[in-house]
Amino acid sequence: MPAKWDDSIGGRRLHPESLMMGYGYKPEWSEGALKSPIFQTSTFVFKTAEEGKAFFELAYGLREAREGEGLGLIYSRLNNPDLEILEDRLCLWDGAETAAAFKSGMAAISTTLLSYLRPGDAVLYSRPIYGGTDHLANFVLTQFDITPVPFDCRDTIESISKRLAEVAPGRRLGMILIETPANPTVDLIDIAMGAELARRHSTAEYRVPVAVDNTFLGPVFQRPLDHGADIVLYSATKFIGGHSDLIAGAALGSEEMMRPVRAMRTFLGTMVGPWTGWLLLRSLETLNLRMNRQAANAARVADFLREHPKVVNLHYLGHLEAGDPQFDLFKRQCLGAGSMIAFEIPGGEPAAFRFLNALKLVHLAVSLGGTESLAEHPASMTHADVGKADKDRLGVTDGLVRISIGVEHPDDLILDIGQALDAV
């Protein structure tokens, strides 16, 4: 993919973390300001009426762009400099052609699903999945005559195709949505398997897209486009924002696959505002540092938990072992174990609550990926409206707690988690 901006020195391509400070922006645009200003404006002034007409012709796809002609700035629901710089930089990590920034992770997911799904379709989605996405699939899409069909990490192409035929006979497969690692159990779903499944269900008229929610590991530790995904989705509220102070989302992919998503964003109005876009630019500068420190801390905490007598069923990617199919998939698909940990405390909800209530340094809050460590109880919080039978089958038990490890000193995290386990 040719870079939109100069991204090399003497022919050698620079790494994303080196480009995060300047790519996509020129100080001479803004009085020499090192950092891009916040373009806190709803609309942009056209030099002439002819220019405005030309911009709209391109924005609405009324004609092809002429040689060297780009889409001019029109109105911040369509484009804004802070968003354009942000989107160019997001592309670097995932190796995407184009990106679209959204108001939230749910805005990115729902806008993408609505761009492709049509009444009468089926949508395959991996489970467990973030509770909000689960709700969208089972309680919102169903109102538009779209049938959600779940699968999990134990399924194969054959078992999924069989279920699809049984649960949604005669329906077109509109999209495959994969969340990997899965929230909250960090189960891995094989993206290449999803791409093969999509290929088998595609026809001459319709190519089934594969969208991957890469919130838990990406973009530093997993690049779904390299494994056959068409669209990568993020809750940028998490690692990309990284400071628990904003809500945002992103979708990335090829120009072709993103065209409907971008158009749907314009008309649903789900784009992020310039101020949040600017905050994300600041956050991207430290993304690699933060995610690596968080992952190193998580490895220390997970090793401590593995030895603890009050901890069972520890879910942590760094502890997968040879012989486990999830280990092979981890080696093939992931670049690191990340910083999400889940584990069970025997004694169900009362024991889990005693642990959560005793934490002092780690905060009791949903969300993840921020500089501070956060702990929550998926069964009664993020996954509260997933049916009890599904929760049990997927390992979202009453004793399960999920911790997102931050950048604190690892000894202090272990001290806090240890004393909270003592309280159980």
Ligand X SMILES: Cc1ncc(COP(=O)(O)O)c(C=O)c1O
Q: Interface with ligand X by CB under 6 A: which residues?
A: 104-106, 130, 132, 179, 183, 213, 215-216, 235, 237, 247, 249, 367
CB of 415 to ligand X, least distance (A): 27
The label of the residue with tokens 């998926």 reads: 378
Q: Chain centroid to CA 267: how far?
A: 22
What's the min distance (Å) between Cβ of 234 and ligand X? 8
> Which residue number is nearest to ligand X in terms of Cβ?
105
Q: Which is nearer to ligand X, 80 or 215 (CB)?
A: 215
User: Whole-number minimum distance, CB 1 to ligand X, in Å?
Assistant: 26
CB of 53 to ligand X, least distance (A): 37
Q: Which amino acid is at 346?
A: P
Residue 290: which residues within 8 A CB-CB, separation 6 or more?
Answer: 239, 242, 371, 407
- In the block, tokens 């959560």 appear at 356
Shortest Å, Cβ 160 to ligand X? 21
Give the Cα-Cα-Cα angle 220, 226, 227 (nearest 5 degrees): 110
Q: Which is nearer to ligand X, 248 or 301 (CB)?
A: 248
Cα separation, 236 vs 71, in Å, equals 25
> Could you tell me how far CA 203 lies from the centroid of its own chain?
28
Provide the residue count of the chain: 424
190, containing H or E segment:
none
State the nearest-atom distance from the C-beta of 130 to ligand X, in Å.
4
Question: How many Cβ atoms sit within 10 Å of the Cβ of residue 408?
Answer: 17
Q: Which of 105, 100, 121, 124 lies closest to 210, judged by CA?
A: 124
Select 25 or 130, whichever has its Cβ closest to ligand X. Answer: 130
Q: Which is nearer to ligand X, 168 or 244 (CB)?
A: 244
140 or 358, CB closer to ligand X? 140
The CB-of-258 to ligand X minimum distance in angstroms stands at 18
Q: In what side-by-side order are the strands of the sheet with 363-364? A: 312-315, 340-344, 400-404, 374-376, 363-364
The least CB distance from residue 133 to ligand X, in Å, is 6
Cβ closer to ligand X: 54 or 133?
A: 133
| Burial profile 162-184: b = 16 or more Cβ within 10 angstroms, e = fewer | eebeeebeebebbbbbbbbbbbb
Nearer to ligand X, 36 or 235 (CB): 235
Which one, 81 or 128, has the nearer CB to ligand X?
128
C-alpha dihedral, 161 to 129 to 241 to 40, nearest 10°: 80
